């Protein structure tokens, strides 16, 4: 079995930025494993211009952004069409590729950067018929941008978080009419200008407090039944796009030895992006459902710093940990553990999200003493950041983050 210094599993923004940063830090023996035939991850099939501002200071289309990331890692070995099928303790990874079949490879350190997957209709419990034309944003983008197909003429989009707007832009690109964007909650999940953008710039009716009741059709979708304020009506359409409800892509991790966090759905990490087995590090959307590509990129680079330190034997040990957990109304918090002694934590932030709209105070305490708090009205899916640099650098027994309503 060949052992490399670093294996990077997944060639999306997190994996590629980690690889490029490791190379800058002088790590040479890196192999990237990617199941698709081309590196770049999700941005490869997001043809619209909504990438790169944060990391490259210019607006780029998804494919241009993906190519730039792949070029930055071009001196590093990328094995495409190689699927990771299992991981084992100590950085051992089982892979399969169509030419050489199953194989085993190892890394002194391994970055997990598998991204997310969308929840398909089959697990959403929507009643009605099972016609063709029901899809997710990712699948729609593959049809439109990679295969240059127009899968339907008139679509309804279900959901209103950030990626739903990616679906609207894709529909516009393909010249598919969007009959409505529907959202069960009282307001859109993405930030407010989003609904103005949908209505005014794209001409899409946005209907909040509206539930999808059933899908109708024979071979193809013919319409959907929706309910608003107790009244039902039918919208004629031949396509239905489910957006949101992402889950970290943990298919290969569920049966592994790594500790997963049921609230994020991804592996637990400490402040060094290190999983419960110190040979493994995690970055990007695998940590929690979807952030922007810029966030995944920054996480990949930050994880590279820790991996380089680990290879040099300079990363603090993972033996003593303080666990953090999210109590309602917080949905989750990560890193889920902090390795002791805390050492230098900057620029890491604890990140949290909330389950439902809540007004109150987000609070950080250590040893029963409040260190920081902020009054806020928090909305579901909004990112909450807690400055860890305020934690005492020495010994601490307990650290708590909570949201006090009222």
Ligand X SMILES: Cc1cc2nc3c(=O)[nH]c(=O)nc-3n(C[C@H](O)[C@H](O)[C@H](O)COP(=O)(O)OP(=O)(O)OC[C@H]3O[C@@H](n4cnc5c(N)ncnc54)[C@H](O)[C@@H]3O)c2cc1C
Q: Tell me which of 5, 23, 29, 36 binds ligand X, using CB under 6 A.
A: 36
The CB-side HSE value for 345 (13 A sphere, CA atoms) comes to 21
Q: How far apart are CA 5 and CA 394, in angstroms?
A: 32
What DSSP designation does 280 have? E
- In degrees to the nearest 10, what's the CA dihedral of 337, 343, 344, 350? 20
Alpha helices in 25-105 (DSSP H): 53-56, 62-72
Distance in Å, CB of 317 to ligand X, minimum: 27
Site for ligand X contains 304 (CB under 6 A): no
Tokens of 225: 């039944």
Q: How far from 203 is each of 97, 124, 161, 198, 371, CA to CA, in Å?
A: 45, 28, 18, 6, 47
Q: Is the peptide bond before 329 cis (omega within 30 degrees of 0)?
A: yes
Q: Which of residues 321-350 bind ligand X (CB under 6 A)?
A: none
Site for ligand X contains 10 (CB under 6 A): yes
Q: Tell me which of 166, 210, 263, 264 binds ligand X, using CB under 6 A.
A: 166
Task: Return the number of the residue (8 or 350) whose C-beta is nearest ligand X.
Answer: 8
Distance in Å, CB of 85 to ligand X, minimum: 7
Site for ligand X contains 291 (CB under 6 A): yes
Site for ligand X contains 84 (CB under 6 A): yes
Q: Tell me which of 179, 188, 279, 293 binds ligand X, using CB under 6 A.
A: 293
Q: How far apart are CA 181 and CA 174, in angstroms?
A: 17
Task: Return the number of the residue (106 or 371) whose C-beta is nearest ligand X.
Answer: 106
Site for ligand X contains 15 (CB under 6 A): yes
What element of type H or E holds 110?
strand 101-112
Q: Tell me which of 249, 270, 277, 381 binds ligand X, using CB under 6 A.
A: 249
For residues 80 and 31, the answer to whether their CB atoms sit within 8 Å is no
Site for ligand X contains 284 (CB under 6 A): yes
What are residue 86's DSSP bridge partners? 94
Q: How far apart are CA 129 and CA 149, in angstroms?
A: 24
Distance in Å, CB of 244 to ligand X, minimum: 10
Q: Tell me which of 43, 47, 217, 239 binds ligand X, using CB under 6 A.
A: 43
* Among 5-13, 104-112, 142-150, 372-380, the segment contacting ligand X (CB under 6 A): 5-13
Task: Return the number of the residue (30 or 33) whose C-beta is nearest ligand X.
Answer: 33
Site for ligand X contains 290 (CB under 6 A): yes
For residues 366 and 398, the answer to whether their CB atoms sit within 8 Å is yes
Distance in Å, CB of 271 to ligand X, minimum: 19
Residues contributing to the site for ligand X (CB under 6 A): 9-15, 33-36, 41-43, 46, 50-51, 83-84, 113-115, 137-138, 141, 163, 166, 249, 252, 284-285, 290-294, 296
């Amino acid at each position: 079995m060949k052992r490399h210094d670093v294996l990077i599993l997944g060639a999306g923004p997190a994996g590629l930025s980690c690889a490029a940063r490791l190379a800058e830090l002088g790590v040479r023996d890196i192999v990237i494993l990617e199941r698709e035939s081309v590196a770049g991850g999700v941005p490869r099939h997001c043809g619209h211009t909504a990438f790169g501002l944060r990391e490259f200071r210019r607006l780029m289309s998804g494919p241009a952004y993906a190519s730039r990331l792949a070029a930055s890692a071009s001196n590093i070995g990328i094995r495409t069409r190689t699927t990771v099928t299992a991981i084992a303790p100590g950085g051992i990874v089982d892979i399969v590729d169509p030419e050489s079949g199953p194989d085993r490879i190892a890394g002194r350190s391994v970055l997990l950067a598998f991204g997310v997957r969308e929840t398909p209709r089959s697990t959403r419990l929507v009643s009605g018929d099972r016609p063709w034309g029901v899809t997710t944003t990712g699948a729609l983008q593959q049809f439109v941008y990679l295969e240059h197909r127009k899968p339907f003429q008139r679509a309804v989009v279900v959901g209103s978080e950030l990626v739903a707007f990616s679906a609207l832009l894709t529909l516009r690109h393909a010249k598919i009419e969007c009959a409505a964007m529907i959202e069960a909650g009282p307001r859109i999940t993405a930030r407010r200008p989003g609904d103005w953008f949908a209505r005014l710039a794209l001409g899409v009716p946005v209907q909040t407090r509206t539930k999808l009741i059933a899908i109708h059709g024979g071979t193809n979708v013919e319409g959907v039944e929706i309910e608003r304020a107790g009244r039902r009506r039918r919208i004629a359409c031949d396509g239905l796009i489910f957006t949101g409800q992402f889950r970290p892509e943990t298919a290969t991790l569920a049966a592994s030895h790594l500790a997963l966090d049921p609230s994020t759905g991804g592996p637990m990490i400490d402040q060094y992006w290190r999983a419960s087995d110190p040979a493994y590090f995690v970055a990007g959307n695998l940590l929690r459902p979807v952030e922007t590509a810029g966030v995944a990129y920054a996480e990949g680079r930050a994880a590279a710093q820790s991996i380089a330190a680990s290879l040099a034997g300079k990363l603090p040990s993972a033996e003593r940990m303080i666990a953090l957990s999210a109590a309602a109304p917080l949905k989750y918090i990560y890193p889920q553990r902090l390795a002791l002694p805390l050492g230098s934590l900057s620029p890491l932030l604890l990140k949290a999200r909330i389950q439902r709209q809540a007004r109150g105070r987000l609070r950080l305490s250590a040893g029963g003493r409040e260190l920081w708090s902020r009054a806020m009205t928090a909305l579901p899916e909004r990112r909450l950041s807690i400055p860890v640099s305020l934690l005492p650098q020495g010994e601490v027994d307990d650290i708590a983050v909570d949201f006090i309503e009222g």
